[in-house]
Amino acid sequence: MSIRFPFALLLLSTVASCAVTPDFKEPEPPSVSQYTGSDDAVVIGSNKKLATGQTLQWVDATDQQWWQQFQSDSLNLLVEKVLTQNPSLLAASAQLRSAEELYQARVGTTRYPKVSADVSAQRQRFNPGVFGQQATPQEFSIYNAGVDVSYQLDLSGGNSRALEGLASRVDYQRYELEGTQLALVATVLNTAFNQAKLRSQLEVTEQLVAKQEQQLDIVKQQLELGQVSKHEVLMLQSEVELTRANIPVFRNQIQKTEHLLATMAGETPDSENIPDFNMQDFGLPESLPLIIPSELVRQRPDIQAAESLIQAANAEYGVAIANMYPSINLNGQIGSQALSAGSLFSSESAVWSLIGQLTQPLFDPGLPAEKRAALAEFEAATSNYQYVVLEALREVADTLRQLENDAQKLNALSDSNQSSEEAMQITARRHELGAASYIELLLAQQQYLSTRMQLIDAQSQQLINSVSLYLAMGAKPSLSQPDVQ
């Protein structure tokens, strides 16, 4: 009977915990077949080719080293450096490890009995005169050695739900770390693309200023000859200075991108270990990934984090319910007690005790309120999950639309740039033959450079749009956790 009793209690504990506290049920994934709702939407199973030649392709999962699709070795090395040396990632990774260890500590104190050993010795004097007796006081020693065992039976499932909630919080931190890594990689790429765009635009602006200055010199000569008015000279000089004013702006923005890339890589802003980027360093990915909406919820870290909060809230609601039911604590002790150290471990000195305690809340107005509060937290977490999913779908839809529209813009600007370049070459040949003035040639060159500025901006934007789609798809980096010494 003494052997079967503990097993019966454990079985009762398991059955009761399943019956009292609610189990977590995963939220239903979105049942939509496309991200955008117009006639030219990207439908599941049908790949779509953009005006830039890129293909939107349905996949089961994204490439974990997706940044390599932009065809830059320097960028690849920088991303790997950021993922292993960024201070904020190192801190977040350490916090995650701390949460995991705290969870293991809670598991150890909850699932298993607590066992402790103690040894004590005391010297005592007993005086019978305290009780009004006439006797000689006695002095003696007492030696104790024993093992104490205590365990709380999880009858209502409160302990298991508490562990489940703590584990869900750990999962939440893990998904938050993955989301931080993903956002950081996207920031590195976008900063590199922005720096490349600014460098190209700075170069074009300097060329444009040079052409405008040449035109200004010619107009000044015409002013001396009386062929133009001073007003025309002043207007052109104002235009030159306005264009020249963009040069320090571009330089300042370039310097800011250099500082940002350095600090993200865990280095000081003046570091010389960060590469410089130019537009010719990059290429657009030939194909861009699309994941069906029902699977997107299993891919994006923010959605997974929101689901973890639902599971944590469900577990905490279970704890609030379990607190209203009885709890049983078992305490046992076995050891020995003797008047001399030599006889401490003899068979005659063995002692033991077994205590069982049943506690049932009878009147505690706070417990129902705690239950209602936990239920409200669960409902809030569920609504938050729905919001995160809708925002994710909207983000994908916005990114797809921007990819398509900006691809058309980039295609049009490419044609415009090609036309202005051909027009400039024709004007140059006409100038060589004496059929066009030097002023006409300068104007054609300025028109080409202005178109080139817009094309550079569109090329950079399409690179950023491609990053945005990877970000919207929840493309987790392959380096899931930075290495920490």
Annotate 258-325 with DSSP letters as a single string: HHHHHHHTTS-TT-S-SPP--GGG----SEEEE--HHHHTTT-HHHHHHHHHHHHHHHHHHHHHHTTS
In the chain, residues under CATH classification 2.20.200.10 are: 113-153+326-359
| pLDDT at residue number 1 | 39
* Predicted local distance difference test score (pLDDT) of residue 2: 44
Tokens (6 digits) for 423: 């027009």
Which token pair is 111? 């699932």
Closest CA to 466 of 404, 418, 413: 404
Say if residue 387's pLDDT is above 50.
yes
- pLDDT level of residue 358 (50, 70, 90 thresholds): confident
Q: CA-CA distance, 168 to 162, in Å (whole number)? A: 10
**Considering the chain, what is the average pLDDT of its residues?**
86
What's the confidence (pLDDT) of residue 14? Answer: 47
Asked if residue 6 has pLDDT above 50, the reply is no
Residues 185-204, mean pLDDT to the nearest whole number: 95
Mean pLDDT across the stretch 372-382? 94
pLDDT score at 193: 96
- Mean per-residue pLDDT for 213-237? 86
Per-residue pLDDT, averaged over 462-466, amounts to 95
40-64 average pLDDT score: 77
Name, in order, each residue with C-beta under 8 angstroms of 435's C-beta and a sequence gap of 6 or more.
none
Q: Are 319 and 166 in contact (CB under 8 A)?
A: no
How much is the average pLDDT of 98-103? 91
For the cut 90, the answer to whether the pLDDT of residue 66 exceeds it is yes
Say what percent of the chain tops pLDDT 90.
46
Does the pLDDT at position 392 exceed 50?
yes
Using a 10 angstrom Cβ sphere, with 0-12 exposed, 13-18 middle and 19 or more buried, the burial of residue 214 is middle
Helix axes of 4-20 and 158-224: crossing angle, nearest 10 degrees = 40
Q: Does 19 have pLDDT greater than 70?
A: no
H or E segment to which residue 5 belongs: helix 4-20
Considering only 44-53, 97-106, 387-396, which range has the smallest mean pLDDT?
A: 44-53
- What's the average model confidence in pLDDT over 263-269? 94
CA distance 66 to 471: 10
Q: What are phi and psi of 287, to 5 degrees?
A: -130, 145
Q: Which tokens is 408 given?
A: 């058309």
Q: Does 224 score more than 70 pLDDT?
A: yes
Please give the pLDDT value at position 43: 58
Q: What is the mean pLDDT of residues 412-434?
A: 89
Q: Token pair of 341, please?
A: 């150290």
> Which residues make Cβ contacts (< 8 Å) with residue 461, sequence separation at least 6?
406, 410
Q: For the residues 259-272, what does the mean pLDDT come to? A: 94
Task: For residue 483, name the pLDDT band (cuts at 50, 70, 90).
Answer: very low
Residue 338 predicted with pLDDT over 90: no
Which CATH number applies to 43-112+155-324+366-473: 2.40.50.140, 3.30.420.60, 1.20.1600.10, 2.170.190.11?
A: 1.20.1600.10
Ranges 196-200, 215-219, 236-240, most confident: 196-200
Rounded to an integer, the average pLDDT of 70-74 is 94
CATH code assigned to 113-153+326-359: 2.20.200.10
Q: How far is CA 204 from CA 23, 33, 247, in A?
A: 63, 45, 10
CA–CA separation, 472 and 291 (whole Å): 10
In this predicted structure, what is the pLDDT of residue 42? 62
CATH 1.20.1600.10 in the chain is located at 43-112+155-324+366-473
Q: Are 81 and 169 in contact (CB under 8 A)?
A: no
**Predicted pLDDT of residue 41:** 56
Q: Per-residue pLDDT for 9 more than 70?
A: no
Count of residues in the chain: 485
Please, which residues have CB within 8 angstroms of residue 403's CB and are 6 or more apart in sequence?
50, 54, 56, 288, 462, 465, 466, 469
Two structure tokens written together for 368: 């129902």
Q: Confidence band (pLDDT; 50, 70, 90) for 10?
A: very low
Is the model's pLDDT at 74 over the cut of 90? Answer: yes
